[in-house]
Amino acid sequence: MKHKTLKILVIMALFFTTKTVLSAVSPSCDDKEIYLKVMEKARALPKPYANWQLKGSAKIKTLRPSQCYMTLLFVTGKKSGKMTEVGIIYKTDVPLANIHIQLTENRKKECQQIRIPKGRTSTLLKGNISPNEVACYQMRTTNKQTAKVSIESNSDVVMTIKGIQWIGNAQKEFEFLTTKGTYEILVFQLPVSDQLNPYNLSVEIK
């Protein structure tokens, strides 16, 4: 009986120790210490961000374990200046002192206009994405169309779409009902690799 009780206690100790270690290795995206370090890094960003006033964050999203997205809120110029949102990506599986933030907007190329051939409802665009780069595409739609946008890649190439409720979520596929206007599709590597990664971007609008 004593041996059985001892065995149970050992198993419980290992369980809680493992849980503690895992928690310490990979904190959540909204962990207080992580958040404060990210904000510290954000205040040290180069111009033009250095000339702006950081007011906080609007949203924090978990893209995948230890991969996070945050929207920073800045006031540009004077105190009465315009509020602007800046997206960043960061990892939580590194020591606190080594937290690094990546600006999604800073890595963005000039947006390419998506054009669907006359008489068709879809098109396929091919590209290559390098580390620390964001490829940008613009998609014009009318009201109440169904849009399907997907990424095919053998590597970790994902996207977000500005103008829909899932902004900040890095995914391989989106399907949504459109409004009249322009949507911006941002394609990037996650996690960031050390090489050029090919991808196919499929866009269907009905």
Range(s) of the domain holding residue 60: 32-103
| Amino acid symbol at 190 | L
Residue 118 sits in the same domain as residue 198 = yes
Taking only the tens place, the pLDDT of each residue in 52-108 is 889 888 788 888 788 888 888 888 765 555 677 788 889 899 999 999 888 776 555
Query: Does residue 23 form part of some domain?
Result: no
Residue 116 sits in the same domain as residue 75 = no
Overall domain count for the chain: 2
Is the pLDDT at 9 greater than 80? The verdict is no
Q: How confident is the model at residue 109 (pLDDT cuts 50, 70, 90)?
A: low
State which of 81, 103, 125 marks the end of a domain. Answer: 103
Residue 44 sits in the same domain as residue 118 = no
Q: What is the pTM of this model?
A: 0.53
Query: Does residue 12 form part of some domain?
Result: no
Here the CATH number for the domain that contains residue 139 is 2.60.120.380
Query: Does residue 21 form part of some domain?
Result: no
Q: Which residue has the tokens 């890595």?
A: 107
How many whole angstroms from its chain centre is CA 14? 34
* Higher pLDDT pick, 169 / 14: 169
Is the pLDDT at 165 greater than 80? The verdict is no
Of 154, 143, 145, give the one whose Cα is nearest residue 122: 145
Residue 42 sits in the same domain as residue 91 = yes
Residue 98 sits in the same domain as residue 120 = no
Q: How much of the chain exceeds pLDDT 70, in percent?
A: 78
Residue 116 sits in the same domain as residue 200 = yes
Q: Dihedral of the CA atoms 93, 96, 100, 101 (nearest 10)?
A: 90
Out of 12-16, 74-78, 110-114, least confident range: 12-16
- Under a CB-based contact definition with an 8 Å cutoff, are residues 194 and 130 in contact? no
Residue 174 sits in the same domain as residue 129 = yes
Distance CA 141, CA 177 (A): 10
Residue 123 sits in the same domain as residue 172 = yes
Query: Does residue 79 form part of some domain?
Result: yes
Query: Does residue 15 form part of some domain?
Result: no
Phi/psi of residue 89, nearest 5 degrees = -125, 140
Query: Does residue 66 form part of some domain?
Result: yes
Average pLDDT over residues 144-154: 94
Residue 138 sits in the same domain as residue 63 = no
